[in-house]
Amino acid sequence: MKIAPLAKQLFLSICIVCLFASCKKFNGDVEPVVIEKPSVWEADKLFPTGNFTSSTVKNGSIKLFNTAGSVSVCTWDTTTANNEQAFAARKMSTIGLPYGFSVNIYNVNQILSQRFLVFSEGVLVPLTLKIRALDNGNHDNFLEIQGKNLDPAFRQFEYQTYSGLPTYRIIGDYILIPYKKIVPNSPDELIFAVIKIKAKVANQPAEATDALAIEKVTLVNDVNTGINFYGAIEDITTLKDKFVVSTYGSRTPQICTIDLNGRIENKVAISSNGFIPQPNNVLLGIKNSNVDGNSGFYRSADLGKSWNVFNTTLPAGFGLLSFYTINNTLIGIFNKQLFEVAFTGDDSKLNLNIKELTTEGLPEDIKINGIFVYGPQKIALTTNKGVYAKDLQDLLIQK
């Protein structure tokens, strides 16, 4: 049998050829894999410099708000946000305010629903409000509201919360305005006015004209509600077609809802330092620990009709965060820090997860005032040193 040795020799030859072939050096024909480094925060030269406190993004335009002496409303066409030539044709307008007007528009994208601006006249004792449409019209044409015309016992508009945030809230054409009322031989009473704004021109939406008028005023006080509000406003937010108000003072603390007709529908003897909107009309409230000595959260899943209590130790400084929702992710901001905040659970159990995000690229002495998305894939920060931006996909990279 001579076939077996020949097959064996042929097999060994093939193995030797394959061995030498595998030992050949790389000749550069295969392209190396390129791993892109995540983007970092950089000053966005498409925007002007300035101390921008907040922003709104609507229908392909961006408005930045600067409270350094006046309010600058800067509008860009962002339909092609990655094309610098598109920004060369940007339009910028300024709302000039008379001396003595106080503007509180921090977190304006959460507060004003991108429809109206509300200004208070008088920094220490605000006695007059001026309202204008955000998108259209003559910037010097305001709807003026004198407090004395709302209530003969009017003392002053209550334009900020206990922590210094603005109190005015808007749902559609309805604006909730709190003010203090003089009560003889008693502390001032806190009153809420629900004011419906209309256009002076018939059949025109109020947000599309500079000619505004008052259609209806409803005062929310002890006359039509049977309750009194005293002390400070802790926070106010909106939930569908309702205003949610938290107060705390010398009398019983209150969380209540106020509808667009000025009716109080739900009232509970608790108080929240700050509300945190969640998906599916769920609302969380940070507990005011002065009420029962415990920290934690309140949670309502029925538009403020009832609240579940979760007593838990909160991370230090959690109540100082300002919250924004970016692509269904809750982002917390404090000074130069960014956090991804997530709540999991239901009415029986609530878990809080916090991850600090990288701020690589930001100057050390910067203060972040707000965050917004523009263009197809950009995330930007409004700061006291202008606008900083990076790729949206890199927002949630942890520190």
pLDDT confidence of residue 362: 96
Of 143, 140, 100, 150, the C-alpha closest to 118 is 143
Contact (CB, 8 A) for 370 and 26: no
Q: Cα–Cα distance between 146 and 149 in angstroms, integer? A: 5
For the ranges 22-26, 46-50, 272-276, the maximum mean pLDDT occurs at 272-276
Task: Provide the sign of the torsion angle of the four alpha carbons 206, 212, 216, 222, taken in this order.
Answer: positive
* Residue 155 Cα to chain centre, angstroms: 30
Query: Which of the two residues, 28 and 62, has the higher pLDDT score?
Result: 62
**pLDDT: which is higher, 331 or 85:** 331
Q: Kindly report, residue by residue over 100-121, the tens digit of the pLDDT.
A: 444 444 333 333 445 677 766 6
pLDDT at 41 over 90: yes
Strand ordering across the sheet containing 232-239: 232-239, 242-248, 254-259, 264-268
Instruction: Decide if pLDDT at 298 tops 50.
Output: yes
Q: Are 246 and 236 in contact (CB under 8 A)?
A: yes
Residue 186 confidence (pLDDT): 80
Does residue 70 carry a pLDDT above 60? no
Residues with Cβ within 8 Å of 57's Cβ and at least 6 positions away in sequence, in order, are: 63, 78, 109, 372, 373, 374
CA angle in degrees (0–180, nearest 5) for 86-89-92 = 120
Res. 1: pLDDT tops 70: no
Mean pLDDT of 306-331: 90
Q: Rounded to the nearest 5°, which phi and psi values hold at 208?
A: -105, 10
Pick the closest to residue 371 from 183, 167, 106, 126 (CA basis): 106
Write down the pLDDT at residue 284. Answer: 94
Per DSSP, the residues of 95-114 read E---TTEE---TTHHHHSTT
pLDDT digits (tens, 9 = 90+) for 371-395: 988 776 889 998 989 889 999 999 9
User: Between 164 and 26, where is the model more confident?
Assistant: 164
Give the residue carrying structure tokens 């209150």. Answer: 254
- The C-alpha atoms of residue 203 and residue 163 are separated, in whole angstroms, by 40
Among candidate residues 50, 82, 84, 80, the one with its CA nearest the CA of residue 67: 50
Question: Among 129-133, 180-184, 275-279, 286-290, which is the least confidently predicted range?
Answer: 129-133
Residue 292, SS3?
A: coil
The dihedral sign for the CA sequence 228, 220, 249, 273: positive
Distances (CA, A) of 282 to 274, 299, 306, 328: 14, 7, 11, 13
Q: Token pair for residue 248?
A: 């705390």
User: Is the pTM above the cut of 0.75?
Assistant: yes
Q: What pLDDT score does 44 carry?
A: 86
Instruction: Grade residue 275 by pLDDT with cuts at 50, 70 and 90.
Output: very high
Kindly give, in sequence order, each residue whose CB lies less than 8 Å from that of residue 137, ignoring residues fewer than 6 positions away.
209, 210, 211
Instruction: Determine how β-strand 378-383 pairs with β-strand 368-374.
Output: antiparallel
Question: What is the average pLDDT value for the chain, to the nearest integer?
Answer: 76
> Can you tell me whether residue 350 is helix, strand or coil?
strand
Query: Which is it for the CA torsion 251, 255, 259, 265, positive or negative?
Result: negative
| CB distance 354 to 341 below 8 Å | yes
Task: Write down the residue that tokens 């076939």 correspond to.
Answer: 3
pLDDT of residue 148: 92
Q: How far apart are CA 63 and CA 55, in angstroms?
A: 5
Most confident range, picked from 153-157, 185-189, 346-350: 153-157
pLDDT at 228: 53
pLDDT the model gives residue 209: 62
| Residue 135: strand pairing partners | none
pLDDT at 214 over 60: yes
In three-state secondary structure terms, 26 is: coil
210, two tokens: 């500079």
Q: Check if the beta carbon of residue 146 is closer than 8 Å to that of residue 130.
A: no
Q: Are 120 and 105 in contact (CB under 8 A)?
A: no
